[in-house]
C-alpha cells in the first residue's frame, strides 16, 4: 500500500467539532476540528477494551470513549480515566496512534505512514482546488486501484461508457489513434489532445462553436487523476482522488470544478455539476467492478490485448508500476 503520502479527506469547511470516521489503507481513523480550529486525527480505537472511539463523543478538544469514558487528547494520550481515584497515575501505555493532518487549499489532508516523515512530503498542490467552485462525492467499491486511477485519463472510454451522460458535451475523438502529446514527469504523466466539437446547438451556443475542444490529462502520483476540458471562455476540471480502503475495496472521490460556467447561477451550477458527476461516476464504477469480478473469477489467468490507441493507459501503467517498485 502507498504509505508516507498525504490523502484527501474532505473540504475544510465540512470538518466541524464532531467525530467523522474514515478508513484509509486499512487504518480506521477519527477526525474532528477543535474549538481553536486545529484538527485532531486519531486511531479509531480505545486502548482500554478495544472498541471504536467513533462510538463516543467529544468534550471540546478531547474525544471520550462511549464505553467507559476514557478521554484522549490530540496526541492520542489518555488523559482521564473516570474509574480511577483522583491522583492515580494513568498507565503510560494508555495511548493510541495520532496522525499528521492539515488544512491545505480549502481541503483537509491526512498523512498515512511514519509521522516523522510528514514534513518531508507535501500534499499535491492544485491551485484550482483553492479558487474555483466545486462539488464532490466519495464512493467506496470493490475494484483494482491501478485501474481506478487510470480510468479518468483513459481518453477513449468517454464516448462509450458515458454515451448516456456526457454524450456530445465534451466532444469526440475523431483522429484514430489520436496524438496525445504525452510527457512522463517525475511525479506523473501529462498529455494534451483535441476532441472534435460535436455538441448540440444549445451546447455550442453556450460553450462555443470552435472546431476543437482542448483537453488536458494529468496524473499526480500517487493518487490524483485530472481531466481538464477547455471551451472558448469556460473550463471544466474533473479530479479523481483514489486510495486503497482495504485489501478488496478502493475509494474514489470525484471533485468537479469549473470556471465561468453558469457564473450568474451558482446554486444551479452546483446542482447541475453534482447530478452530472454522480451519473458519470456510477457509469465508471459499473465497469471497474465488472473488471474486478472477471479477474477474480479467472484468478488472474487472463491476458489483455492492447493497441496503439491505448498509449495513455500503457504509459500510465508503466509509470505507476515503476513507482511502486521503487524505480
How would DSSP label each residue in 58-101? EETTEEE-TTT--EE-TTSBEEE-TTSPTTPPPPTT-B--B--E
Coil, helix or strand at residue 218: strand
CA pair distance 317, 311, nearest whole angstrom: 10
Question: Are residues 15 and 97 both part of a single domain?
Answer: yes
Question: Are residues 313 and 168 both part of a single domain?
Answer: yes
Q: How many CB atoms lie within 10 A of CB 43?
A: 19
Question: Are residues 98 and 219 both part of a single domain?
Answer: no
Question: Are residues 72 and 147 both part of a single domain?
Answer: no
Q: How many distinct structural domains can be found in the chain?
A: 2
DSSP state of 211: S
CATH of residue 246's domain is 3.90.380.10
Sequential pLDDT tens for the chain (327 residues): 699 999 999 999 999 999 999 999 999 999 999 999 999 999 999 999 999 999 999 999 999 999 999 999 999 999 999 999 988 999 999 999 999 999 999 999 999 999 999 999 999 999 999 999 999 999 999 999 999 999 989 999 999 999 988 888 888 888 778 899 999 999 999 999 999 998 899 888 889 999 999 999 999 999 999 999 999 999 999 999 999 999 999 999 999 999 999 999 999 999 999 999 999 999 999 999 999 999 999 987 888 999 999 999 999 999 999 999 886
HSE (side-chain half, CA atoms, 13 Å) at 173: 17
Question: Are residues 173 and 304 both part of a single domain?
Answer: yes
Question: Are residues 94 and 136 both part of a single domain?
Answer: no
Question: Are residues 109 and 213 both part of a single domain?
Answer: no
The number of residues in the chain equals 327
Phi then psi for residue 282, to 5 deg, are -60, -40
Asked whether the beta carbons of 208 and 230 are under 8 A apart, the reply is no
CA pair distance 168, 123, nearest whole angstrom: 35
Place of cell 468517454: 158
Question: Are residues 267 and 155 both part of a single domain?
Answer: yes
Question: Are residues 43 and 136 both part of a single domain?
Answer: no
Question: Are residues 189 and 226 both part of a single domain?
Answer: yes
Choosing from 120, 137, 172, the residue where a domain stops is 120
CATH of residue 94's domain is 2.102.10.10
Coil, helix or strand at residue 183: strand
pLDDT at 327: 66
CA pair distance 215, 13, nearest whole angstrom: 30
- Output the nine-digit C-alpha cell for 71: 478521554
Choosing from 91, 120, 149, the residue where a domain stops is 120
Question: Are residues 172 and 192 both part of a single domain?
Answer: yes
Choosing from 70, 91, 120, the residue where a domain stops is 120
Asked whether the beta carbons of 187 and 220 are under 8 A apart, the reply is yes
Question: Are residues 163 and 290 both part of a single domain?
Answer: yes
> What range defines the domain where residue 48 resides?
5-120
pLDDT at 169: 84
CA pair distance 13, 125, nearest whole angstrom: 18
Amino acid at each position: 500500500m502507498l504509505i508516507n503520502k498525504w490523502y484527501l479527506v474532505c473540504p475544510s469547511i465540512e470538518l466541524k467539532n464532531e467525530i467523522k470516521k474514515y478508513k484509509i489503507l486499512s487504518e480506521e481513523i477519527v477526525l474532528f476540528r477543535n474549538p481553536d480550529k486545529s484538527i485532531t486525527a486519531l486511531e479509531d480505537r480505545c486502548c482500554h477494551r478495544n472498541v471504536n472511539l467513533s462510538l463516543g463523543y467529544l468534550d471540546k478538544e478531547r474525544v471520550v470513549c462511549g464505553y467507559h469514558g476514557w478521554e484522549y487528547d490530540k496526541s492520542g494520550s489518555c488523559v482521564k480515566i473516570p474509574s480511577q481515584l483522583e491522583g492515580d497515575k494513568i498507565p503510560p501505555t494508555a495511548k493510541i496512534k495520532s496522525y499528521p493532518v492539515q488544512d491545505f487549499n480549502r481541503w483537509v489532508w491526512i498523512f498515512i505512514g511514519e509521522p516523522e516523515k510528514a514534513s518531508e512530503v507535501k500534499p499535491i498542490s492544485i491551485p484550482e482546488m483553492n479558487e474555483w467552485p466545486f462539488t464532490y462525492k466519495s464512493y467506496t467499491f470493490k475494484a483494482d486501484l491501478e485501474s481506478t486511477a487510470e480510468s479518468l485519463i483513459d481518453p477513449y472510454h468517454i464516448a462509450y461508457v458515458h454515451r448516456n451522460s456526457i454524450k456530445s458535451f465534451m466532444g469526440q475523438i475523431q483522429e484514430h489513434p489520436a496524438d496525445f502529446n504525452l510527457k512522463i514527469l517525475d511525479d506523473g504523466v501529462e498529455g494534451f489532445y483535441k476532441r472534435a466539437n460535436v455538441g448540440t446547438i444549445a451546447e455550442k451556443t453556450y460553450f462555443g462553436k470552435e472546431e476543437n475542444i482542448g483537453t488536458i490529462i494529468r496524473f499526480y502520483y500517487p493518487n490524483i487523476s485530472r481531466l481538464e476540458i477547455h471551451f472558448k471562455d469556460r473550463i471544466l476540471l474533473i479530479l479523481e482522488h483514489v486510495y486503497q480502503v482495504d485489501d478488496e475495496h478502493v475509494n474514489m472521490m470525484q471533485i468537479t470544478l469549473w470556471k465561468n460556467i453558469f457564473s450568474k447561477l451558482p446554486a444551479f451550477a452546483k446542482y447541475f455539476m453534482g447530478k452530472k458527476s454522480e451519473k458519470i461516476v456510477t457509469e465508471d464504477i459499473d465497469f471497474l467492478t465488472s473488471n474486478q469480478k472477471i479477474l477474480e473469477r479467472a484468478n488472474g489467468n487472463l491476458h489483455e490485448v492492447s493497441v496503439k490507441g491505448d498509449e495513455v493507459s500503457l504509459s500510465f501503467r508503466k509509470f505507476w508500476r515503476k513507482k511502486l517498485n521503487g524505480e
